[in-house]
Structure 1
């Protein structure tokens, strides 16, 4: 393991978390191990037995948390305040340092058993849910989204009963790697409890770990500066979801953290085609978290974070900080789409106008989202690929001609990336729901993991070819190098 100071989470105390014990499972079958990230946190040398001991039975890592911590938070769920949540089937297991950039990383769980926040639930995760989360994080990482990483998935041998899918179904425990688990809802809980000292402690903690440039600000300046920084990071995260064609599905305040890092994947979808009203959750009847409303949802959530900071700051200063979001988002949308298209930005308003015109054409034509991003990568440098695409007829149509002219006038960014074998393929790697279901069906029906493994290999090939830097990551963050 890499040398690291004592885990900072332990210093916060019982106002912020509860020590818990992990569940004991009847079986431990390793289904996924993220060796790429294990190396970055000094755990690559663990053999199979040790891996299972730490990430299936949760024996403490050396010089780390002695007991797992279930984190305490509240949150708005579909804009209804819920004070009865918290880590109900997960906990913070360990905190490590990234061997490349030195930043703190959390190892958190999903499906590791009941906690005081379980509200009568069984604290378990379905194997299908674990498979879906691995695919989501691998897909988002490949497309340059600043996301948590699925670190380990172990099947645990229990038969779970669920009302919204065929039961009994197989069980699993997931470990994810994330730069923070400080949720907006953690601040909301402290405000709800009128714990002003706790809000201040958590703010200082978050700044020290994740916004060190704010740590020494005068007391009255820190809350709005923190809110502004989180707003800008969150704006860039929302923009990166749009450019990835991704719909998170459950953008509640307890599913957003202060680092601008996407995490906690329940219902999620990638767009088949551009549709602003496309939703991921079957229960999102009003389309609150639809593809085209994700920025609105994020800004609303930021408003709730600002409200939780009111005991420390004036309302005008916090509102001014929130005002940074719209401009940051508009700029980030252009950054994100130009990065995905492998183009160099001109820097003016025309960049944003091009993105909007492209999306409008995609919506009107019905062009497949990921195929279009793949075909248009590096603009004019990829013209031959465009002509050979399954969507070639759409690009040859008169409606696309004005866009083609603008596209071909733009400067490609690192066009040598087109030499990657990935771009010799006729179609990109995708994760639309039908493909995800096919992967699961092979596992469910025949315990055949080959499609799962092939999909991960394909997503990693795509990530290496695109070589995108996460948009909402802080300066100095070192993304995973292409394999």
Structure 2
């Protein structure tokens, strides 16, 4: 498709962002370009030098925003309200329409300091960029709606970090997102009792991300949409065995698209207490508590919208979350198993049996879905899986095991040891072959899942 630039964000006005200038980097070495994503927004025809000019030096795209914008927001961080955050090491670089007609953003990470950097250097470690590539590629393949790592360029600076060996290499990342409006964007306006701009932002989100015109019921309609989308995200996280790690309200996109990956992990087994972040000492964002955490963030959006609408319709809008979450967990699990859903009520016993069996056996989540694809478990899945086997007998296969992937000795997985091994090759010998091989393997799995 042809590149179709947009500047919708300017409708909101300068109360929502600060024009900024990108950092100037000593080097711009292209390490990853996502041509599959670029094709969907008409940017796949860029040469490598053009790519670096736009996504390493941030020369404006034709017809796009003429200056990057650091977006303003607040948020609860581990349930503590913080009014001093915003885009501190990133900005909105461009907007465009994708092949599905959706408004999309290109946002950055590691692009330099902004008014919201506080004491940070505004930079991103190369390791952090590599980890984000792996997270987004894996989640996309597993059916989770996620931002996509669009570009990673090494920048030639040595960074000091307290939680990893330093000095370490630096990079600037560009992500493709269905918007960068966060729950925390609404919270900032509510904190200032800015009812006019809350209404303006609600109308913007409805119009550009949900295809609806605002009206008197705009706040509750918006909340209902966000509740459904975030419930879907929570359900898909569980079926993927994914732990985001930092589900603060400033990290929850109102389109329900997962983004902003820091200390993420994939759980090796169904362990509800499994955490991704070493600093999550209370397990607030542990694997099994993610739906609760996302719902709590949703309540902060409802609280912000309370300034422009009565409470009762917001309570009603929130009620969509639990049912949608249960349905999405079931649909995502059955999709990974390659069987046809039978309906919300009929699918519940199978989902419960899967969760119980995985928890009791401590079996690998990835191995279970790999072995069971098509609806038949191998004989060596013993007593803990007896009920799963009985329930699966009632399901028709959605897709046969007719791709070479299903003959592999092991499933494609993304556990922390492999992440560290991929990074070690890059750090020690500038060897990128493991990373590129892993991306190819992940995409092969995604194609096999269908």
TM-score band, normalised by shorter chain: over 0.9
The corresponding residue for 2:145 is: 146
Matched length: 450
Q: 1:5 to 1:42 in 2, by over 3 A?
A: closer
What is the CA distance between 1:320 and its match in structure 2?
1.6
What is the CA distance between 1:352 and its match in structure 2?
1.5
Structure 2, gaps ≥5 residues long: none
1:404 to 389, 397, 401: 389
The corresponding residue for 2:427 is: 444
Q: Partners of 2:95 and 2:66 in 1: how far apart?
A: 11
The corresponding residue for 2:210 is: 211
Q: Please identify, of 358-367 and 51-60, the stretch whose mean Cα deviation from structure 2 is larger.
A: 358-367
What is the CA distance between 1:246 and its match in structure 2?
0.2
1:361 to 333, 357, 360: 357
**Contact 2:271/2:288, CA 8 A, preserved across alignment:** yes
TM-score (normalised: structure 1) = 0.91
2:272 to 269, 276, 281: 276
The corresponding residue for 1:83 is: 83
What is the CA distance between 1:3 and its match in structure 2?
5.3
Check if 1:200 corresponds to 2:199: yes
Residues 234-273 of structure 1 correspond to what in structure 2 (within 5 A)? Answer: 234-273=230-269
What is the CA distance between 1:404 and its match in structure 2?
1.4
SS of residue paired to 2:307: helix
The corresponding residue for 1:61 is: 61
4+ residue segments displaced more than 6 Å: none
**Contact 1:333/1:352, CA 8 A, preserved across alignment:** no
Deviations 1:296-323 (CA, angstroms, capped at 9, x unpaired): 0011000000011111100111112112
What is the CA distance between 1:281 and its match in structure 2?
0.5
The corresponding residue for 1:313 is: 309
Q: Please identify, of 13-22 and 329-338, the stretch whose mean Cα deviation from structure 2 is larger.
A: 329-338
Check if 1:129 corresponds to 2:131: no
Deviations 1:127-177 (CA, angstroms, capped at 9, x unpaired): 000000000000000000000000000000000000111110000000000
SS of residue paired to 1:311: coil
What is the CA distance between 1:366 and its match in structure 2?
1.5
Q: Partners of 1:337 and 1:190 in 2: how far apart?
A: 38
Q: Partners of 1:348 and 1:111 in 2: how far apart?
A: 43
SS of residue paired to 1:419: coil
Deviations 1:316-363 (CA, angstroms, capped at 9, x unpaired): 111121122111111211111111111111214231121121111111
Check if 1:101 corresponds to 2:96: no
What is the CA distance between 1:402 and its match in structure 2?
3.0
What is the CA distance between 1:442 and its match in structure 2?
0.6
Check if 1:119 corresponds to 2:115: no
Structure 1, gaps ≥5 residues long: 388-392, 468-483
- The two structures, once aligned, show a CA RMSD in angstroms of 1.2
The corresponding residue for 1:176 is: 175
